[in-house]
Structure 1
């Protein structure tokens, strides 16, 4: 999958992890991509926007 237009961002909660972060690109029209910030040229996981929203929502529940 071509992720050339992806705009990657880190969570604001990642700043204290010595660079051990996950980056997310959610600016693409049909997918949300996730990658390891230490390996920017490595593989990325790709999710549908619906699946990603479900994951994020489930992490916010107590």
Structure 2
């Protein structure tokens, strides 16, 4: 991946109470996601359009925990 995760501003959900959560960052071409417990690992990269559609689906309640 060309986008260096060291120069990116990572953020956690405001609902992350334990501190051991996923973090996301807005990069040039992608939205990156990593495990906050292993920040040195390679983040997952999602095209911004795919991430936007995912967030729309979450907000619309299309995913449900069992």
1:19 is matched with 19
> How far off is 1:36 after superposition?
0.3
| TM, length-normalised to structure 1 | 0.83
Unaligned 5+ residue runs, structure 2?
62-66
| The structure with more radius of gyration | 2
RMSD (Å) for aligned C-alpha atoms: 1.2
Secondary structure (helix, strand or coil) at the match of 1:51 reads: helix
Unaligned 5+ residue runs, structure 1?
none
| TM, length-normalised to structure 2 | 0.78
Tell me, yes or no, if structure 1 residue 9 matches structure 2 residue 11. Answer: yes
